[in-house]
Amino acid sequence: MDTTKTSAPLTPETADSAEPQTPAHADQADGSTPAGTKADTTKAEADVSTADTEAPADLNGEADDLDGPDDLDGFDEPQDRIVGGVGAAASAIVAAGLGLLALSGTWVSRVIAERQTLIGQIESVNATTTEAKIDALYGDAWHLTALVNGVVSTLALLLAVFVLARPAFGAPGRVLPVWIRSVAWAAVALGALGVLLFGFMYFDLLLPLPKAAG
């Protein structure tokens, strides 16, 4: 009796399942990743790592650009703000004009001097000495002229000093333009010169009254 078993004929379904597996299918069956899939995964990981590495560099580059001196120039405020007000400019010009006008003689001082000369002529009739007549005719008129021009010079000096000192009492960092300060300093010089000159004339320290001989 033949005990060997003959193999059953292969059906089409069994034949299909018995087909040799490709390397990719074999890898999948073993639980491993195909070579093509490994290559794609490695490339994707490399791209991600490259993007992560380059992002901080870009951010650092932008930070360096912002920290540069050229980019921060627009945000830096100047330490001194030049402010040229119309009032300061007008005051400086007026002060310089008053100082120059006082040195050359004002119309008001001439009118007052002429009036005092007329009064002196009336009073000189009763004068008993020559010095009294000279003082009545000219001395009082000259003194009033020096007094009026000295007052004008003092006003010019005070106005110029106010213009120069005004920014110190305003907002911090405010300065006047150069031309306003130049005019104001010129007015200070003219005013101070007028105050000294007319002060000496008023007290007869400069150009005193002449005295009659004998």
DSSP sequence for 161-205:
HHHHHGGGGSSTTEE--HHHHHHHHHHHHHHHHHHHHHHHHHTTS
214 pLDDT tier (thresholds 50, 70, 90): low
Q: Which of 200 and 75 is assigned the larger pLDDT?
A: 200
Determine whether 174 is exposed, middle or buried from the number of CB atoms within 10 Å of its CB (0-12, 13-18, 19+): middle
**Predicted local distance difference test score (pLDDT) of residue 44:** 53
Checking if the pLDDT of 64 tops 90, the result is no
CA distance 150 to 97: 14
More confident site: 156 or 18:
156
pLDDT recorded at residue 166: 87
Tell me how far apart the alpha carbons of residues 50 and 42 are, in angstroms, rounded to a whole number: 12
Top pLDDT among 112 and 127 is at: 112
* pLDDT at residue 194 greater than cutoff 60: yes
CA gap 199, 205 in Å, rounded: 8
Long-range contacts, 66-69 (Cβ 8 Å, 24+):
none
Q: Give residue 56's pLDDT.
A: 46
157 Cβ partners below 8 Å, 6+ apart? Answer: 95, 99, 187, 188, 191, 192, 194, 195
The predicted pLDDT at position 42 comes to: 57
**Which segments within the chain are labelled E, that is strand?**
81-82, 174-175
pLDDT at 127 over 50: yes
Mean per-residue pLDDT of the chain: 74
